[in-house]
């Protein structure tokens, strides 16, 4: 299947995206791309997000974009942001994506009036189900982090969506070795430049769960070398008094996800079977005040969240 809409002769003029979609507001702007709100002309009222990428900026990165498109075409899941269509025109490449309007995970939690362990458990179940589907289809995300977990819409019970597959990889050979990810969420084996696989996503889910329950990251240092050393050694604590009200089941769940040995680390299916996810051991006490106050500080410290791709 071709990656982009072109006519049979390969002309880039035959399919004009504006014959199919009416562009509306700008939703976001990056260094080399813009994201537009658009409406499908053949189905009035059906709104999408269209990422418009300048081809000049793509020079040398075509393979990365093609990989992202291949990955998204493999993944059809209710908790994964969908790719509907692609267009290749003279100056731009367009990705027509599912419109997701609910905002980033942590921003929504800060804005909520209450938040419990049970709420966190329900969220992470959805993330694990989507990750399990990815892994069953041979895809490793490699950059799971809160910014890539989006609420589908503004409703109180909105589902959560995994987005941004720019660093994802189809696990054809069984192992990978490229160091990439976001420092605070990356697994020890990646930093040690060892071959790695699906287990790196599980580690990241463990880090996200940890932050959801206390509002601050398990590993933090202004200096990347020190941060990486902490991660490689698996040096994290369930600090008192912040974790005193959190269930032992939650701590056990996190410990199985943030296990330094990838062979011993839980798989998605093992994580989904854990009582904190699958049972009734998640606490119901409101922890919003503590979590939100720490999250606000953490959100201000952006340098532990920047992605790298070595």
Report how far residue 55's alpha carbon sits from residue 135's, in angstroms, rounded to the nearest whole number.
31
pTM reported for the whole predicted model: 0.89
Name beta bridge partners: 85: 96
pLDDT digits (tens, 9 = 90+) for 227-264: 999 999 998 999 999 999 999 999 999 999 999 999 99
What local confidence, expressed as pLDDT, does residue 14 receive? Answer: 63
51 annotated as belonging to a binding site for a ligand: yes
Q: How confident is the model at residue 220 (pLDDT cuts 50, 70, 90)?
A: confident
Domains of the chain: 17-98 (3.30.200.20), 105-309 (1.10.510.10)
Instruction: Band the pLDDT of 67: cuts 50, 70, 90.
Output: confident
Give me the mean pLDDT over the 214-233 stretch: 92
Kindly report, residue by residue over 121-141, the tens digit of the pLDDT. Answer: 999 999 999 999 999 999 999
**Is the pLDDT assigned to residue 300 strictly greater than 60?**
yes
The pLDDT assigned to 175 comes to 61
Active site residues: 143
pLDDT category at 9 given cuts 50, 70, 90 is: very low
Mean of all residue pLDDT scores within the chain = 88
Q: For 180-204, what is each residue's pLDDT tens digit?
A: 767 789 999 989 888 889 999 999 9
The pLDDT score that the predictor gives to residue 174 is 56
Which residue bears the tokens 């990838």? 262
140-166 pLDDT, tens digit per residue, is 998 999 999 999 999 999 999 999 888
Average pLDDT over every residue of 1-9? 50
């Amino acid at each position: 299947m071709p990656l982009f809409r072109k006519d049979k002769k390969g002309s880039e003029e035959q399919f004009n995206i504006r014959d199919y979609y009416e562009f509306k507001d700008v939703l976001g702007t990056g260094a080399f791309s813009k994201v537009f709100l658009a409406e499908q002309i053949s189905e009035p009222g059906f709104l999408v997000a269209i990422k418009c990428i300048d081809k000049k900026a793509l020079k040398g990165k075509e393979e990365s974009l093609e990989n992202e498109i291949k990955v998204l075409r493999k993944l059809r899941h209710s908790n994964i942001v969908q790719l509907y269509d692609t267009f290749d025109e003279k100056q731009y490449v367009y990705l027509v994506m599912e419109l997701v309007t609910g905002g980033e995970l942590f921003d929504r939690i800060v804005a909520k009036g209450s938040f419990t362990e049970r709420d966190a458990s329900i969220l992470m179940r959805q993330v694990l189900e989507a990750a399990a589907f990815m892994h069953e289809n041979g895809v490793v995300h490699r950059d799971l982090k809160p910014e890539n977990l989006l609420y589908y819409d503004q409703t109180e019970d909105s589902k959560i969506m995994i987005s941004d597959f720019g660093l994802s990889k189809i696990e054809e050979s069984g192992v990978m070795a490229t160091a990439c990810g976001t420092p605070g969420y990356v697994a020890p084996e990646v930093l040690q430049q060892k071959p790695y696989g699906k287990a790196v996503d599980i580690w990241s889910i463990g880090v996200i769960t940890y932050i959801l329950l206390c509002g601050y990251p398990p590993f933090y240092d202004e200096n990347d070398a020190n941060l990486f050393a902490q991660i490689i050694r698996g040096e994290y604590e369930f600090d008192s008094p912040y974790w005193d009200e959190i269930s032992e089941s939650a701590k056990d769940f996190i410990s199985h996800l943030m296990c330094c040995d990838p062979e011993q680390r839980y798989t998605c299916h093992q994580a989904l079977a854990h009582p904190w996810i699958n049972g009734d051991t998640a606490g119901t006490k409101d922890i919003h005040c503590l979590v939100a106050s720490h999250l606000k500080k953490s959100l201000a410290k952006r340098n532990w969240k920047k992605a790298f791709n070595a």
